[in-house]
Structure 1
Amino acid sequence: MTGDPMAGDPMVAAVLRRLRELRPADDPLHAFAAAVLSGEATLRAAAGHPAFEAALTAAAQDVEHAPGEPPGRAVRQ
């Protein structure tokens, strides 16, 4: 993770490592995390890539849930 100060942040790096560990190799979020961790892309560039952007948007929508609802039960408005 060189050249990307945000990805060099220990918390950001930990989240990216966890994404890479938890998601299957063919999952776009796994590829996103791997690209940033390897230095292939900066966090900003990877987040703006169309394939990764769609996966990040879907994941963010999935965690928008009603109080008391488990993650994965997204509230759609």
Structure 2
Amino acid sequence: MTTQPDSTEQEPVNDRLDDHLEMLRDPADKLLRAALAQGGFRLAVQCERCGTWLVAPSSVKRHLGPVCARHAQSEAGVA
């Protein structure tokens, strides 16, 4: 008959492994993770038309800023 290891015996091993992995993490990764948790970063993309950085969700979604979107729309209507 085999015995199952007690789950409480496994917990200290997992804690030691977590501590060891934490020591191996790059300090920059720790800073990035902390900033992300605090909402210190936003997604940004460059406008496909002019290259300006966009952070507004609607602009990020279409990869065009509002002015470039209007220009693109008017050019599409002319063509």
Both proteins in one fold, TM over 0.5: no
Q: Larger relative contact order (C-alpha < 8 A, sep ≥ 6)?
A: 1
Structure 2-normalised TM-score? Answer: 0.23
Structure index of larger Rg: 2
TM-score after normalising by structure 1: 0.23
Task: Name whichever structure is richer in strand by fraction.
Answer: 2
